[in-house]
Structure 1
Amino acid sequence: MKRTIPITTLFVDIGGVLLTNGWDRHARRRAATHFKLELDYDEIEDLHHLMFESYEADKFTLEEYLSRTVFHKERPFTREQFREFMFAQSQPYPEMLDLVARLKTHCGLKIAVVSNEARELNAHRISAFKLNGFIDFFISSCFVRLRKPDANIFRLALDIAQTPIEQVVYLENTPMFVEIAEGLGIQSILHTDFQSTRAKLASFGLQNVESVVHEIG
């Protein structure tokens, strides 16, 4: 049945959807190998888990995070070298970036990020991949001091978007966060790959989405 209420706003996660995750366990494992920290890896992971939720909520700076997780002892590498490695773990998913940017242009969608992002990594990712060229606003945990799975981050996004909930679609790669958003009444797509996501977006009846995805494909 054809939709009678148009979708006008897209909420989208960054890590795992538009870009790789910024500093996940795979990136930390690569860092341990690169900087020869294998013997300290378990300790660093334990310290990371104690710190990172607070860091993503902007309660610590990157320097404080590094001081307490990696540089609490002497290291044969510099903080700058480690920061550069951290930032280099962010890589784009070009098809997804292009799809969302085209939906913005062709369908006139309002685009909002709803993401758990630490401030310095978030700033790097926005700048390096020119996310503010097509994203209207960022409901990033480091800005709003709320983190998924807290449902209040979605409520805040709805308040800021000022869009009726039935006109919003949320694009996310974590099943739990999709369930929480849907529990609030936000229509959601669990992102697993480009092809299935573009088909699901088309199923929501976005104006001109069929031509947009065919241009990309």
Structure 2
Amino acid sequence: MQQHPTITTLFLDIGGVLLSNGWDRAARREAAAKFSLDLPELEERHHLTFDTYEEGKLTLDEYLRRTVFYEPRPFTEEAFRAFMFSVTTPIPEMIDLVCKIKEKYRIKIAIVNNEGRELNEYRIRQFGINKFVDFFISSCFVHFRKPDADIWRIALDIALVKPEEVLYIDDRPMFVSVAEGLGINGLQHKTYEATKANLAKYGFEVD
């Protein structure tokens, strides 16, 4: 087994690791088809304003008024919001893996993710992420979003840990690289099998 510094804390992304991505390009494409929206227009308006929503500086209603309901629509805002929530699906094997590691090794677990408040809270509660996570350093709570290194610095402060004590798991290589630049151990999640094997190299072995 490879030798690594003692890991006391896992920092995890949510989208692409524990759950499907939230309001991503595929979901917006599906929404455009379902609600007969102009996809290029939706995409342009989304990219102009979504970062502000993820930083907690807009409500979901405000985001939707800028991106969808800037003109009359034959459907309600409630129907569109319900669709946005409905596209999330869990990755059960990854949730189970993290829960087993938490139970066996009693380590701290923190979420470090980019998400707007309403979507974030729904996804966390709906799929029980709050039942095994100790801290949520979400962009909508701390007003920094990845790849801004300050979101990881805040996470280190809140968890009261040194960078070398942390293993950060994300499906996006850029975010892993930024965390590693702060001295945090990084692991890019690609598949359940690969992540389980890599966690075992850090001493976290579960059946």
Same fold (TM over 0.5): yes
Query: 1:103 is matched with which residue: 96, 101, 119?
Result: 101
Alpha-carbon shift at residue 3 of structure 1 (Å)? 2.9
Structure 2 residue aligned with 1:86, among 84, 87, 92?
Answer: 84
Give the whole-Å Cα distance in 1 for the aligned partners of 2:146 and 2:4: 31
* AA matched with 1:124: Y
Structure 2 counterpart of 1:137: 135
Structure 2 length-normalised TM: 0.97
In 1: Cα distance, 2:115 partner to 2:66 partner = 19
Matched to 1:198, the amino acid is K
1:31 equivalent in structure 2: 31
After TM superposition, the score normalised by the length of structure 1 is 0.93
CA deviations on 1:38-71 (whole Å, 9 max, x unpaired) are xx11111100001100000011100000001001
1:117 maps to which residue? 115
Q: Equivalent residue for 1:191?
A: 189
Quote how far apart the aligned CAs of 1:4 are.
6.4
- Cα RMSD between the aligned structures? 1.0
Aligned pairs for 1:197-208 within 5 A? 197-206=195-204
Moved more, 163-172 or 62-71: 163-172
- Deviation per residue, 1:98-157 (Å, 9 max, x gap): 111111111111000000010000010111011110000100000000000000101111
CA distance in 2 between partners of 1:28 and 1:130 (Å): 25
- In the alignment, which residue of structure 2 is the partner of 1:43? 41
Overall identity of the aligned pairs, in %: 57
**Residue segments in structure 1 that go unaligned for 5+ positions in a row:** none
Is the 8 Å Cα contact of residues 2 and 201 (structure 2) preserved in structure 1?
no
Separation in 2, partners of 1:114, 1:4: 22
- In structure 2, C-alpha distance between the alignment counterparts of 1:4 and 1:204, rounded to whole Å: 6
* Distance of 1:56 and 1:168 partners within structure 2: 24
- Partner of 2:168 in structure 1? 170
Using the TM superposition, name which of 5-14 and 135-144 deviates more. Answer: 5-14
Instruction: Name the residue aligned to 1:9.
Output: 9
**For residues 135-192 of structure 1, what are the alpha-carbon distances to aligned partners after superposition, in whole Å with 9 as ceiling and x for unaligned?**
0010000000000000010111111111122211000001110110111110010001
CA distance 1:65–1:177, shift in 2 (3 Å): same
CA distance 1:76–1:165, change in 2 (3 Å): same
Q: Is the 8 A contact 2:60 2:118 kept in 1?
A: yes
SS in 2 for 1:113: strand
Q: How far is 1:2 from its partner?
A: 5.0
> Following the alignment from structure 1 to structure 2, what is the Cα–Cα distance between the partners of residues 102 and 109?
11
Deviation at 1:5, TM superposition (A): 3.4
2:4–2:202 CA contact under 8 A, matched in 1: no
3-state SS in 2 of match to 1:96: helix
- Number of residue pairs the alignment of both structures matches: 207
Read off the aligned partner of 2:21 and give its amino acid letter. Answer: N
- 1:53 aligns with 51
- Does the residue aligned with 2:203 lie in a helix, a strand or coil? coil
